[in-house]
């Protein structure tokens, strides 16, 4: 792939592609953000409940055992998957130069409404006491086929798009996007089919854990990496440093990710090799992380000052840092001595938050900062809001993750000492649980800034300007990296 | 870089098929085919004839109780999985592994969960492991725990479940059908059945 000057026609063509995705993508983004806010509130409430179990005792649906799964369902299905689908749609259309017809746009928006209705019903059902106590698959079992069908209808167009693409070359991002589209239905069908059969209940529990882990490694990671492999070269105005290394990273992830999941149940009721194989896969996935990192770093080399200006790059870079943190901590946590203490502690919860909120959400925010101005034709209203969003969410997530990880150490250290009374382990984590409640407030605050901006863009009240809104726009004259990159990079 | 559509899809499918078959489906099928091993005179077990005996884990309305357990999200704070000593010190917590006085305490094995619709292995351990709670607490104690956990342990972090109970006009408190079923389910948590001498399957 070489960088050529984009011709007039190219730019027009791209704008038409962008415009064709406008309504569905904006719909997915705004409703996903609304769910993110709902899940933040629920996360805050469940952290409060942990600290003070007697709180709102009369309200049945506000018990921790219902609040927490409601929070996770809203976060995973309402926010993560929906925002991911929006990014998938835009990025795939952009890379393959596929223009959505009016019917396709309408259909996607209708399906988006169906998806939102399903998530709302799922969350309400859990609150009313129809949950299943299966992490990330809490919705009542009759809803599973509906979720699957809606997802399939929302993503099936990825295949014709890839097959009939008008642009000549295939980008590494497309690999990741097609991969995510193929793998999700497979893991979802498998987990749904194995859970609830009486034949092998222990393996069913393993399959649930396998599903959650695969949703991270096989769906969120590919989409986040597709974004990174798109945004970084765009902003740096250079092709990806090495396609060989990029492909290596992709296939390492593809080969290994399916083996993860059982490491959560080390020492559980399985043949001992099963959790061990999962643990090994988690360690070797670090190869993919190193490959991706070095590649993105070389792509950006010498242009790191762009971090100062481009919100897309900044969010994506932080998301990628959290990705490395997630993979590294997961790999550390599978070692037997560590597992003995941290398994079943807040540490695992912290890892989940780091995956969904840390790396996936931050990368998706980066993508949104890039996408929304292009599909609406107006720029983000305020650089100050972007800064607020960035710093409050970065600090919020860091605080949350650190609190949960340290809570895990505090709790797990006591859990591993059988002569210490059990409830001490829980009490010992108490202060960190309060810290996590505070962090949810920070995150909620940062989301409000972003949601406000997105709402303005949605109703067309963005800034009408030829120049993109940069984090530090003033005083830098014509320096306009994102804009320049956009103009210069062609297929 | 040009990759034909079918080649990419084939690559993705092959990569995923390996763990799907070997990590998930084959162990699943082999667990589903577990055959009970009979007790012999040497085992000195009375009342049941084989391990695993599916009927031993069910008790009263424990099937409905399992649904209540899931609906209230109990599995988010309670595990039902006792790790062997190489993986963690669970066996040294009093009563977690089963009836220690009878020498029956042990880690949980896949067979212990047969007959349930889903093995709630758990997510976090904010509360005690419940694999053998049926041996540790009586029916009255379990009801008291559910109605007012802090009357039991002042430091308990467990929420109370008063909505599973109804108070009559004379002030007396009675469990609802749900509470009874949940307690049946908890009383049926006895995963320490003796492994027959003839069972040579090595699970560790």
CA distance A220 to A259: 16
Residue B196 lies inside a defined structural domain of this protein: no
B17 and B64, same domain (yes or no): no
- Nearest residue on chain B to A491, judged by CA atoms? B1
Residues B96 and B175 in one domain: yes
Per-residue H/E/C for chain B: CCCCHHHHHHHHHHHHHHHHHHHHHHHHHHHHCCCCEECCHHHCCCCCCEECCHHHHCCCCHHHHHHHHHHCCHHHCCCCCCCCCCCCHHHHCCCCCCCCCCCCCCCCCHHHHCCCCCCCCCCCCCCCCCCCHHHHCCHHHHHHHHHCHHHCCCCCCCCCCHHHEEECCCCCEEECHHHHHHHHHHHCCCCCCCCCCCCCCCCC
Do B163 and B107 sit in the same domain of this protein?
yes
Nearest to B89 among A130, A163, A416 (CB): A416
Rg (CA), chain B: 21
In angstroms, rounded to a whole number, what is the distance separating the alpha carbons of residues A329 and A480?
A: 37
Instruction: Decide if A18 is inside a domain.
Output: yes
**What would the pLDDT profile of A192-245 be if each residue is shown by its tens digit?**
999 978 888 999 999 999 999 999 999 999 999 999 999 999 888 888 899 899
Lookup: tokens for A482: 């994102």
Residue A487 has pLDDT above 50, yes or no: no
Pair B175, B104 in one domain: yes
Closest to B72 measured CA to CA, from A61, A451, A15, A164: A61
C-alpha distances (whole Å) from A384 to each of A209, A461, A484 are 41, 16, 22
Q: Looking at the structure, do residues B171 and B104 belong to the same domain, yes or no?
A: yes
- Mean pLDDT throughout A100-128? 94
Q: Is A266 within 8 Å of A339 (Cβ atoms)?
A: yes
List CB contacts of A72: < 8 A, sequence separation 6 or more.
A39, A135, A136, A138, A352
pLDDT at A166 (0 to 100): 74
Report yes or no: A219 and A211 within 8 Å, Cβ to Cβ.
no
For range A112-139, the mean pLDDT: 95
- Residue A6 is predicted with a pLDDT of 65
Average pLDDT, chain A: 88
- Asked if residue B183 and residue B93 are part of one domain, the reply reads yes
Do B152 and B180 share a structural domain? yes
Closest-approach residue (CA) in chain A for B16: A258
Length of chain A in terms of residues written:
491
* Most B CBs within 10 Å, among A267, A276, A405, A411, to test the B interface: A267
* CB of A423 less than 8 A from some CB of B: yes
> Are A244 and A379 spatial neighbours (Cβ–Cβ below 8 Å)?
no
ipTM of model: 0.94
Confidence at A486, pLDDT banded by 50, 70, 90: very low
Min CA distance, A274 vs chain B (Å)? Answer: 7
Chain B contacts of A47, Cβ < 8 Å? none
Q: Determine the Cα–Cα distance for residues A71 and B75; give it in Å rounded to an integer.
A: 15
Residue A245 lies in a domain: no
Tokens of A334: 């599978």
Q: What is the pLDDT of residues A276-333, one digit of tens each?
A: 999 999 999 999 999 999 999 999 888 888 888 889 999 999 999 999 999 999 999 9
Residue B29 shares a structural domain with residue B54: no
Instruction: Give yes or no: residues B125 and B180 share one domain.
Output: yes
Do B29 and B53 belong together in one domain? no
Structure tokens at A425: 């382990």
Q: Give the count of domains, chain A.
A: 1
Whether residue B18 is found in the same domain as residue B92: no
Q: Find which of A12-16, A56-60, B59-63, B141-145 is predicted with most confidence, using mean pLDDT.
A: B141-145
Taking contacts as CB-CB distances below 8 angstroms, the residues of chain B near A207 are: 24, 28
Co-location of B84 and B162 in the same domain = yes
Nearest chain A residue (CA) to B34: A200
The Cα-based distances of A231 to A11, A61, A155, A223, A490 in angstroms read: 17, 42, 22, 12, 14
Residue B153 falls inside a structural domain: yes
Q: Is residue B97 part of a domain?
A: yes
- Asked if residue A315 lies in contact with residue A490, where contact means CB atoms within 8 angstroms, the answer is no
Mean pLDDT of A36-52: 92
Q: Residues with Cβ < 8 Å from A68, sequence gap 6 or more?
A: A46, B73, B76
Interchain proximity A258–B203, CB inside 8 Å: no
Rounded distance between C-alpha atoms, residue A311 and residue A317, angstroms: 10
Contact B158, B145 (CB under 8 A): yes
Query: Which pLDDT score, from 0 to 100, does residue A252 have?
Result: 94
Question: Who among B23, B126, B158 is closest to A259 (CB)?
Answer: B23
In order along its 204 residues, chain B shows pLDDT tens digits of: 566 778 888 999 999 999 999 999 999 999 888 888 888 888 888 778 888 876 666 778 888 999 999 999 999 999 999 999 888 889 998 889 988 888 889 999 988 888 888 999 999 999 999 999 999 999 999 999 999 998 888 888 899 999 999 999 998 999 999 999 999 999 999 888 888 888 877 554
- Structural domain span for residue B126: 47-187
- Asked whether residue A484 is assigned to any structural domain, the reply reads no
Whole-angstrom Cα distance, residue A168 to residue A170?
7
Is A159 within 8 Å of B5 when comparing Cβ atoms?
yes
Q: Domain count for chain B, please give it.
A: 2
| A98 conformational bin, left if phi > 0, alpha if psi -120 to 50, beta if neither | beta
CB pairs under 8 A between A and B: 241
Q: What is the DSSP letter of A362?
A: H
Instruction: Specify if B151 maps to a domain.
Output: yes
Omega within 30 of 0 (cis) for the link into B52: yes
Q: Above 50 in pLDDT, residue A467? A: yes
Q: What are phi and psi of A426, to 5 degrees?
A: -70, -45
Q: Residue A476: what pLDDT?
A: 38
Q: Name, in order, each residue with C-beta under 8 angstroms of A445's C-beta and a sequence gap of 6 or more.
A: A392, A396
In a domain, B51, yes or no: yes
Domain range for A23 is 8-168
Please give the Cα distance from B154 to B140 (Å, whole number).
18
Q: Does the residue B11 lie in any domain?
A: yes
Residue A107 has pLDDT above 70, yes or no: yes
Closest residue on chain B to A159 (Cα)? B5
């Amino acid at each position: 792939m070489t960088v050529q000057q984009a011709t007039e026609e190219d730019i027009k063509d791209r704008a038409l592609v962008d415009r064709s995705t406008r309504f569905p993508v904006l719909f997915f983004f705004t409703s996903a953000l609304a769910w993110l806010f709902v899940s933040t509130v629920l996360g805050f409430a469940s952290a409060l409940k942990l600290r003070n179990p007697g709180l709102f005792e009369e309200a049945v649906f506000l018990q921790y055992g219902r609040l927490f799964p409601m929070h996770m369902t809203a976060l995973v299905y309402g926010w993560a998957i929906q925002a991911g689908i929006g990014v998938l749609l835009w990025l795939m259309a952009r890379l393959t130069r596929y223009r959505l017809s009016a019917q396709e746009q309408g259909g996607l928006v209708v399906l988006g409404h169906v998806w939102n209705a399903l998530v709302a019903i799922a969350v309400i059902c859990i609150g009313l006491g129809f949950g299943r106590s299966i992490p990330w698959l809490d919705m009542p079992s009759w809803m599973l086929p509906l979720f699957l069908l809606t997802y399939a209808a929302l993503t099936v167009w990825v295949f014709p798009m890839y097959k009939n693409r008008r642009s000549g070359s295939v980008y590494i991002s497309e690999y990741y996007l097609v991969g995510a589209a193929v793998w999700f239905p497979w893991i979802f069908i498998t987990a749904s089919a194995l859970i609830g059969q009486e034949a092998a209940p222990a393996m069913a529990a393993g399959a649930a854990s396998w599903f959650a882990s695969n949703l991270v490694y096989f769906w969120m990671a590919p989409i986040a990496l597709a974004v990174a492999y798109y945004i970084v070269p765009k902003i740096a105005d250079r092709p990806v440093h090495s396609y060989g290394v990029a492909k290596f990273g992709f296939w390492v992830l593809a080969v290994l990710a399916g083996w993860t999941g059982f490491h959560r149940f080390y020492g559980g009721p399985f043949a001992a090799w099963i959790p061990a194989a999962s643990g090994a896969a988690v360690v070797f996935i670090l190869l993919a992380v190193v490959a991706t990192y070095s590649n993105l770093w070389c792509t950006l080399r010498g242009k790191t000052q762009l971090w100062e200006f481009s919100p897309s790059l900044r969010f994506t870079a932080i998301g990628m840092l959290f990705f490395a943190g997630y993979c590294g901590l997961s790999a550390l946590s599978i070692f037997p001595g560590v597992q003995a203490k941290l398994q079943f502690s807040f540490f695992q919860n912290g890892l989940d938050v780091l995956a969904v909120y840390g790396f996936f959400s931050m990368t998706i925010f980066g993508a949104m900062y890039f996408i929304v101005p292009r599909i609406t034709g107006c720029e983000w209203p305020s650089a100050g809001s972007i800064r607020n969003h960035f710093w409050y969410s970065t600090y919020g997530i860091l605080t949350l993750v650190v609190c949960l990880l340290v809570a895990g150490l505090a709790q797990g250290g006591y859990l591993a000492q059988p002569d210490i009374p059990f409830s001490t382990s829980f009490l010992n984590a108490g202060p960190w649980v309060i810290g996590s409640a505070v962090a949810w407030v920070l995150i909620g605050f940062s989301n409000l800034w972003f949601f406000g901006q997105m709402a303005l863009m949605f109703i067309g009240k963005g800034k009408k300007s030829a120049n993109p809104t940069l984090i530090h726009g003033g005083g830098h004259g014509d320096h306009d990296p994102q804009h320049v990159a956009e103009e210069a990079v062609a297929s | 870089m040009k990759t034909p559509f079918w080649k990419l899809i084939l690559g993705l499918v092959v990569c995923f098929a390996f763990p799907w078959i070997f990590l998930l489906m084959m162990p699943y099928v082999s667990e589903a085919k577990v055959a009970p091993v009979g007790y012999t005179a040497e085992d000195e077990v009375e009342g049941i004839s084989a391990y695993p005996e599916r009927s031993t884990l069910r008790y009263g309305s424990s099937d409905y109780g399992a649904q209540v357990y899931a609906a209230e999200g109990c599995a988010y704070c309670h595990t039902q999985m006792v790790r062997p000593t190489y993986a963690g010190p669970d066996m040294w917590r009093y009563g977690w592994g089963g009836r220690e006085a009878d020498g029956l305490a042990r880690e949980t094995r896949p067979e212990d969960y047969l007959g349930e619709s889903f093995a709630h292995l758990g997510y976090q351990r904010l509360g005690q492991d419940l694999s053998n709670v049926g041996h540790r607490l009586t029916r009255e104690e379990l009801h008291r725990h559910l109605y007012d956990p802090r009357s039991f342990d002042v430091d308990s972090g467990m929420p109370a479940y008063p909505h599973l109970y109804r108070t009559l006009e004379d002030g007396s408190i009675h469990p609802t059908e749900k509470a009874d079923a949940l307690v049946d389910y908890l009383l049926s948590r006895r995963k320490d059945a003796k492994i027959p001498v003839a069972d040579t399957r090595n699970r560790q």
